[in-house]
Amino acid sequence: MLAALKSTGAARVLDLGCGEGKLLQALLREKQFTEIAGLDVSHRALEIARDRLHYDRLPPAQKERLRLLHGSLIYRDQRLAGFDAAAVVEVIEHLDAARLAAFERVLFACAQPKHIVITTPNREYNVKWETLPAGKFRHCDHRFEWTRAEFHSWANGVAARFGYNVRFLPVGPEDPAVGSPTQMGVFERIK
């Protein structure tokens, strides 16, 4: 994820559904990123992120680079405008299918960063985990887990509707039959 974001050349980045701040921590270590904002709907997750990043003890120059925002990805949010790139890591599968369209508008039509990197589980890979009963999701809060074909079809549709190109990358070890555990779509705004 970090490599994908770096390769976009972005300076101002969003981590949407940042959770406990693992990616934010990695982003802070990279000088390339001059402005970093993490957003999550969970107050608790943001508190943990704050602790993990030692936010209160950061030197002023570091503190200025980072913002933690409380908000939901299904409501338009002006604070998300003006960024070069956005990461949405393992978040879309937590949204009700009916809310996905709202999320698409918030990110691709309103926030409109030049690059958007989205990851989600690859359901086909679940057969590789012997401890996961057949037909079960990896996490009880997942509303869906998509096959590669399902993710590609959604991502291609979104790209076409909102004026982006998209390419797909594997995340983790790739199995010839079922692909990689996680799938990634890298979107680039056309205009």
Which chain residues interact with ligand SAH by CB under 6 A?
17-19, 22, 40-42, 45, 72-74, 89-91, 94-95
Q: What is the DSSP string of 175-186?
A: BTTTB-SEEEEE
Min separation Cβ 74 and ligand SAH, Å: 5
Distance CA 166, CA 146 (A): 17
Min separation Cβ 18 and ligand SAH, Å: 6
Min separation Cβ 42 and ligand SAH, Å: 4
Min separation Cβ 59 and ligand SAH, Å: 25
Structure-block tokens of residue 143: 């509303």
Distance CA 113, CA 42 (A): 23
Nearer to ligand SAH, 65 or 138 (CB): 138
Min separation Cβ 103 and ligand SAH, Å: 7
On whether the CB atoms of residues 6 and 30 are closer than 8 A, the answer is yes
Nearer to ligand SAH, 71 or 156 (CB): 71
Helix intervals (H) in 31-70 = 43-52, 60-65
Nearer to ligand SAH, 19 or 121 (CB): 19
Min separation Cβ 156 and ligand SAH, Å: 23
Task: Give the strand pairing for 85-89 and 12-16.
Answer: parallel
In terms of Cβ atoms closer than 10 Å to its own Cβ (0-12, 13-18, 19+), residue 99 is middle
Q: Which residues pair with 115 in a beta bridge?
A: 85, 188
Nearer to ligand SAH, 3 or 149 (CB): 3
Q: Which residue shows structure tokens 């790139």? A: 85
By beta carbon distance, the residue nearest ligand SAH is: 19
Nearer to ligand SAH, 121 or 149 (CB): 121
Torsion of CA 119, 123, 126, 127, to 10 degrees: -150
Nearer to ligand SAH, 163 or 172 (CB): 172
